Structure 1
Amino acid sequence: MSAPDLTTTLLSCQSPDPTIRQAAEAALSSAEQSNLADFFLALAAELSTEGKDVTVRQLAGLHFKNLLVAKDDALQSEKHDRWKALPVEQRAAIKSTAIGAMRSPVAVARHTAAQACAEIATIELPYKEWPEFLSILMENVTSPSSDDGVKISSLECLGFTCERIAVVSDIPEIAPDITDLMLTTIVDGIRPDRPDAIRLAAAQALRNSLAFTRKNMENENERNMIMKTICEATQSPDARVRAAAYECIVQIAFQYYDKLQSYMQTLFQLTFATIRNDEESVALQAIEFWSTLCEEEMELIELANECAEMGREVPPESVCVGYVKAALEHLCPLLTETLMKQDEDLAVDDDVWNLSMSGASCLTLVAATVLDDVVPVIMPFVQQNIQSENWRNREAATMAFSSILDGPSDESIGTYVNQAVPVLLSALSDSNDLVKDTTAWTIGKICDLHVRAIPADTFPTLVNGLASKLLTESPRVSSQACFGIHNLAAAFKNDEAAEKTGTNLLSQYMPTLLQTLLQVVDREDAVESNLRIGAFEAMSVLIQNSAPDVLNVLMQLLPAINDRLGQSFNMPCLTNEDKEQKEGIQGLLCGLIQVIAIKTTKEAILPFCDSIMTNFLQVLQTKNATCHEEALSATSAIATILEGDFVKYMTALQPFLMAGLRNFEAYQVCTCAVGLVGDISRSIENNIQPFCDEIMSALIEALQNASLHRSVKPPVLSCFGDIALAIGAAYEPYLQLSLMMLLQAAQTRAPDDDEELIDYVNTLREGILEGYTGIVQGLKDGNRAEVLLPYIEAIMGFLELLASDRRNDYDNEVLSKAVGLIGDIASCLGSQIKNHISKPYIFVLLNEGNGCGDQSIVSTSQWAMGVVQQAMA
């Protein structure tokens, strides 16, 4: 593509006319495909040619950059490989042209060139290619003859490069000599005698480079130089430079906690002075330093506890020094000062992060770090100010109290909670909105974390106080009241007293609470502050934890909820926002029907099911994945409670069920559909057989789809067992393929050091064992157990792998299912598999099950041992 053509094409890509725009994009794509090297060079030339329209230069540079960047790791790797495949001499010409543009007198061109060159450097620097890159940037920054703009763009380029290298996966570690050059250039740029704009670019580059400077930070002289440079930058007259310097300090606290000791006195003084006196943007970063210290110390304390349990020494570099605890007497009063700097105009704006919010967040982390030690330091401030005449003091005291609730023990803070509840209930009627908001939030946290400390005689006042704020207050305060009711209801989870007596403390309030929350959903302003969602979630938890004596209340609520779902299909959708709101409501209503169905009886719900299922099927015709999740999950609840009577809905449901099973992109929907198949199998049993060809085909497709999220695969494997149990001997046509899938999955292993993958492999193995168990039991029930004999070798091989795999300990669920499968196989095939069940690994698993301490696993192991001994005899 010639230069004039490229100029025209780049401008056409910005055309408001879609026809012109699409044609231009197609032309650029064609140029990329026909000769990538020439296309890169043409874009670099367009970027670097002085006198060109600045918009065209910027578009050329951005397109150049985008040819090398992708959010998806696989596509990113592919783009990098395409660049590496270009001939060396052509790459050299492209790089020379692009990096030359950083000397342009035009600021936009320099900045865009910095971005483009950073992408090339991201690919080449880790492999020690493009050696002249850093020397050119160093010359640009350190040379007295370089224009300030050139220095800035060169430092920006370094910062962009470090930022990109840190997030690109599967590349070698940056060599020390390269980081040395980077640091030398950056430190030169951040010198006190440099102009503020240069120091800012250098400080931002330094922040991004800290991920690669472990070697430099290990060297005391170099570390002192880096810390001195950063601390000097915190004193810059430019607030942006000061903030950027503190961002560097935050990064050092995160990455080099073990190197802080020599500098903590200085950092203590600098951060405290900044928090107290500096501009908000700078003070926020100084607070972030202490928040980061808390997070690091929490991790180190947890590590120390783990080491103590195992009788091991904590590694020297992982010792918690206890900076937060040492600073507590001075840090807490400083943070409470920030709590009183509320921004009155932004008091109800969730999106603005200000000083008081940052202080509260930091105080929460402090409490989680030092636990009970925070109570005597903060509570005098709370008690002195919580009933102050000044609203700022009242709100700050309430916020301080809520901030320290998560950390201290019940014994340490319980007395204060007991005393505070009446005061807080009174404050729900405060004249100031922010005080009411924070008070409702605090009550919600008390209900969540210290519900046992609430005085019994204040329970009615508490419930009625929260309920009274649902309809009359601002959306923000009402949303916090929903949060309080949600947490209060959650405290009644697994309430053994309710099971014995048939009631609990919430029962008498349930009609009023549910009715009021239903009115909240209809508020015109319910979309604000997540009020509608909060109300629905509070209703859901109330229903889930309701006692048996409110079943009648739930059955009166059910038709009202179902009618709302039916009416929702007629809601007008003039905008995308209307559509999202409508679909959100439909999903939430499906969720409510689900929790009611779980609490009710078959006889009670049966008259409503035709109408409910009609509505669910209509929800499944929408194109919203979240709605589909909720509708499929709710259908599972209906299938479970109706048992065999659910079969009447199968013909209508089947197309939507298949669509869900094949929705590989929205994997949560796929997971819900798989779960629904399992529930239907258990409910209608062999009546599912006419639908099984399609269902099994979709399940196999799911396992064979490489792009499907891995979390879906364990439930799919387990689902084989559900279907086999349901249809018995009729499972035989699916046996070979499903066992092959189980065998393939059984080969998955996890590396020793990847805890996330170890957890996944355990979950996968649970699914495999459930699949095998269901298939064995189903074929046994169908008197076709002998068809398993050709596959026994593979199944037993998986059990042997479990017994021998000590690299990642399987959890109790895996052990339980493994010993259960051994018993099922022995019971099913008996002496026909005598040679297999007499192997040592079988007794390794059975003995582990017998000695694990979990009574249900011990019982299963003893049963399996008896069956095995019978088969061997």
Structure 2
Amino acid sequence: MEIRGTATCTLGQVFELLHSPALDKRFFTNEDFPRIMAALSKRGKDVPEVSKEVCEAIYFLARGYDVPISSEVDHSKKKISSELSPFLSGVIDAILSASELDKKTPFGLPASASAYGALIEIVRVSNMWDFEAVIAIMDLMPRIMRRLNTALDAKAISSDDKTNRQNLQALLCDVLHAIIEKLGNSLHADKVRESAQSMSLQFCRVLTCDCSTACDKAALAIGALARAVGPKFLDHMPIFLQYYSVKLFSPIYLEVIGTIFHVLGDEILPCCDDMMDVLYEGLSKPKLKPQILACFGEIALAIGKHFEEYHLQAVRKKLKEAANPRYYANVSDEDKVDYGNQLRQGICKAYSGILRGIKDQKSGLKVAADLVEFIEAVSEDESRCT
């Protein structure tokens, strides 16, 4: 076992230091490559001490193929990036075996970050112009979804189980995020749309956990899913709105709300009033206020005249309240100075989005006047950031 582990670790270090897609820097031949992949695939099903090293070696191997692929890409680079494609199914099987969940105690051991990191890297560098790669990534998506479903449904008895479950949820959301982006940006986005309902529910369930990392990973995956599905994401908004509340807000979650508005545009109008009401409620949370104000700018940019018609006056009032210098001007406490700068940045982003989104000149002049008033107040504050 020690020899197998050390040999695999050495191979991983060689991949990390020497493996490059450039033809003149390659240290293995075409004849060597199948043997290397066969050995890694076999050892991925070895004991944990060895399989962990296999996952790290595969991570560095995949990272060496980090070459953007397009129809116009250099032929030699496209050929090199395709080398992994015939072996992807076997390698993915090996990685999943290395990180297999125990049916009785799925959280008995810490989730293998190296295994899921290797999966993410493999997905990221896969050439979607190759049929083998497409099939392998499509097959991986439901397998990861099943694991996430297990992680969501299994009971965590001890505090260690709870921590491991949260870490596992974060890792699985990360893998699905990579898959969604890969398939969503290819000719095979339909496969993402077919599973969008189930993934939406899974990601939203992760949002309710106590781990901020897992929540942020789930939010980012929802944003990627919205971009991949496009306007049809409106069909999944009822699920999203069930988990849309101030207590789940975070800076990343609020960025994703802006993404959803941009993806849906005018299609989101039936949901808009309810979503805006929750955002207004969130302004009572000082830590969230800068991001919520910035989110208003993204919403205005996304829905334009509709924002101007229904929400502009209310948002102008909120911005004026937030911009009142008495809340943060000329303070000496470092935390308050930092918060004041964040708040001003959020206000600036809001005004920027509103001015670019609204169409009526009279409304634009009123907003511009508000902005000038805000700038004058900031210029008089000696504690502002430069």
After TM superposition, is the score higher than 0.5? yes
Rounded Cα–Cα distance in structure 1 between residues aligned with 2:272 and 2:324: 22
> How has the CA–CA distance of structure 1 residues 480 and 714 changed in structure 2, closer, same or farther, with 3 Å as cutoff?
farther
| Corresponding residue for residue 183 of structure 2 | 600
Aligned residues: 360
Deviation per residue, 1:310-362 (Å, 9 max, x gap): xxxxxxxxxxxxxxxxxxxxxxxxxxxxxxxxxxxxxxxxxxxxxxxxxxxxx
Specify which of 442, 446, 466 is matched with residue 13 of structure 2.
442
| Corresponding residue for residue 540 of structure 1 | 120
Rounded Cα–Cα distance in structure 1 between residues aligned with 2:206 and 2:385: 43
TM-score normalized with structure 2 length: 0.75
> How has the CA–CA distance of structure 1 residues 644 and 736 changed in structure 2, closer, same or farther, with 3 Å as cutoff?
same
| Corresponding residue for residue 565 of structure 1 | 148
State whether structure 2 residue 204 is matched by structure 1 residue 640: no
Specify which of 298, 319, 324 is matched with residue 739 of structure 1.
319
Offset at residue 598 of structure 1 (A): 0.9
Rounded Cα–Cα distance in structure 1 between residues aligned with 2:118 and 2:372: 48
| Corresponding residue for residue 27 of structure 2 | 455
Offset at residue 630 of structure 1 (A): 2.6
State whether structure 2 residue 294 is matched by structure 1 residue 718: yes
Offset at residue 765 of structure 1 (A): 6.8
| Corresponding residue for residue 98 of structure 2 | 520
Deviation per residue, 1:508-552 (Å, 9 max, x gap): 332222221112121659979966221111101211222223233
State whether structure 2 residue 249 is matched by structure 1 residue 675: no
Offset at residue 653 of structure 1 (A): 1.7
State whether structure 2 residue 87 is matched by structure 1 residue 509: yes
| Corresponding residue for residue 52 of structure 2 | 479
Kindly indicate whether the alpha-carbon contact (under 8 Å) linking 1:470 and 1:482 is maintained by their aligned counterparts in 2.
yes
TM-score normalized with structure 1 length: 0.36
Question: 5 Å matches for 1:22-421?
Answer: none
Rounded Cα–Cα distance in structure 2 between residues aligned with 1:493 and 1:440: 19
> How has the CA–CA distance of structure 1 residues 494 and 800 changed in structure 2, closer, same or farther, with 3 Å as cutoff?
farther
| Corresponding residue for residue 239 of structure 1 | none
Rounded Cα–Cα distance in structure 2 between residues aligned with 1:684 and 1:641: 12
Rounded Cα–Cα distance in structure 1 between residues aligned with 2:299 and 2:196: 24
Aligned residue identity for 1:696? M
Kindly indicate whether the alpha-carbon contact (under 8 Å) linking 1:479 and 1:531 is maintained by their aligned counterparts in 2.
no
> How has the CA–CA distance of structure 1 residues 570 and 733 changed in structure 2, closer, same or farther, with 3 Å as cutoff?
same
Kindly indicate whether the alpha-carbon contact (under 8 Å) linking 1:616 and 1:635 is maintained by their aligned counterparts in 2.
yes
Kindly indicate whether the alpha-carbon contact (under 8 Å) linking 1:720 and 1:771 is maintained by their aligned counterparts in 2.
yes
| Corresponding residue for residue 431 of structure 1 | 3
Q: Give the unaligned 5+ runs of structure 1.
A: 1-428, 664-668, 811-873
Kindly indicate whether the alpha-carbon contact (under 8 Å) linking 1:713 and 1:764 is maintained by their aligned counterparts in 2.
yes
Offset at residue 652 of structure 1 (A): 2.8
Kindly indicate whether the alpha-carbon contact (under 8 Å) linking 1:620 and 1:631 is maintained by their aligned counterparts in 2.
yes
Rounded Cα–Cα distance in structure 2 between residues aligned with 1:519 and 1:535: 9
Deviation per residue, 1:266-310 (Å, 9 max, x gap): xxxxxxxxxxxxxxxxxxxxxxxxxxxxxxxxxxxxxxxxxxxxx
Offset at residue 484 of structure 1 (A): 2.5
Q: Who wins on radius of gyration, i.e. which is larger?
A: 1
> How has the CA–CA distance of structure 1 residues 621 and 718 changed in structure 2, closer, same or farther, with 3 Å as cutoff?
closer
> How has the CA–CA distance of structure 1 residues 715 and 494 changed in structure 2, closer, same or farther, with 3 Å as cutoff?
farther
Offset at residue 575 of structure 1 (A): 3.3
State whether structure 2 residue 364 is matched by structure 1 residue 788: yes
Rounded Cα–Cα distance in structure 1 between residues aligned with 2:191 and 2:141: 10
Aligned residue identity for 1:637? A
| Corresponding residue for residue 170 of structure 2 | 587
> How has the CA–CA distance of structure 1 residues 685 and 521 changed in structure 2, closer, same or farther, with 3 Å as cutoff?
same
Rounded Cα–Cα distance in structure 2 between residues aligned with 1:685 and 1:719: 14
Deviation per residue, 1:194-245 (Å, 9 max, x gap): xxxxxxxxxxxxxxxxxxxxxxxxxxxxxxxxxxxxxxxxxxxxxxxxxxxx
Offset at residue 773 of structure 1 (A): 2.7
Specify which of 29, 52, 66 is matched with residue 493 of structure 1.
66
Aligned residue for 1:537, secondary structure, equals helix
Q: Larger relative contact order (C-alpha < 8 A, sep ≥ 6)?
A: 2
Offset at residue 556 of structure 1 (A): 2.0
Rounded Cα–Cα distance in structure 1 between residues aligned with 2:61 and 2:377: 46
State whether structure 2 residue 247 is matched by structure 1 residue 662: yes
> How has the CA–CA distance of structure 1 residues 688 and 744 changed in structure 2, closer, same or farther, with 3 Å as cutoff?
farther
Offset at residue 625 of structure 1 (A): 3.9
Rounded Cα–Cα distance in structure 1 between residues aligned with 2:357 and 2:21: 47
> How has the CA–CA distance of structure 1 residues 777 and 432 changed in structure 2, closer, same or farther, with 3 Å as cutoff?
closer
Deviation per residue, 1:724-774 (Å, 9 max, x gap): 1233233324331343267459x98999xx9xx99x95x877654442232
Question: 5 Å matches for 1:620-631?
Answer: 620-631=207-218
Q: Identity, % of aligned pairs?
A: 22
Kindly indicate whether the alpha-carbon contact (under 8 Å) linking 1:688 and 1:726 is maintained by their aligned counterparts in 2.
no
Kindly indicate whether the alpha-carbon contact (under 8 Å) linking 2:107 and 2:165 is maintained by their aligned counterparts in 1.
no
Rounded Cα–Cα distance in structure 1 between residues aligned with 2:141 and 2:193: 12
> How has the CA–CA distance of structure 1 residues 623 and 766 changed in structure 2, closer, same or farther, with 3 Å as cutoff?
closer
Deviation per residue, 1:640-686 (Å, 9 max, x gap): 1222211122223213121xx434xxxxx612320221111011113
Rounded Cα–Cα distance in structure 2 between residues aligned with 1:456 and 1:764: 54
Kindly indicate whether the alpha-carbon contact (under 8 Å) linking 2:12 and 2:61 is maintained by their aligned counterparts in 1.
no
Rounded Cα–Cα distance in structure 2 between residues aligned with 1:650 and 1:790: 33
> How has the CA–CA distance of structure 1 residues 511 and 702 changed in structure 2, closer, same or farther, with 3 Å as cutoff?
same
| Corresponding residue for residue 159 of structure 2 | 576
> How has the CA–CA distance of structure 1 residues 611 and 478 changed in structure 2, closer, same or farther, with 3 Å as cutoff?
same
Q: Output the aligned Cα RMSD.
A: 4.2
Deviation per residue, 1:101-154 (Å, 9 max, x gap): xxxxxxxxxxxxxxxxxxxxxxxxxxxxxxxxxxxxxxxxxxxxxxxxxxxxxx
Aligned residue identity for 1:472? D
Rounded Cα–Cα distance in structure 1 between residues aligned with 2:61 and 2:228: 28
Aligned residue for 2:66, secondary structure, equals coil
Kindly indicate whether the alpha-carbon contact (under 8 Å) linking 2:257 and 2:295 is maintained by their aligned counterparts in 1.
yes
Aligned residue identity for 2:141? L
Aligned residue for 1:776, secondary structure, equals helix
Deviates more, 1:607-616 or 1:685-694: 685-694
Deviation per residue, 1:24-54 (Å, 9 max, x gap): xxxxxxxxxxxxxxxxxxxxxxxxxxxxxxx
State whether structure 2 residue 153 is matched by structure 1 residue 551: no
Rounded Cα–Cα distance in structure 1 between residues aligned with 2:11 and 2:302: 50
Question: 5 Å matches for 1:748-759?
Answer: none
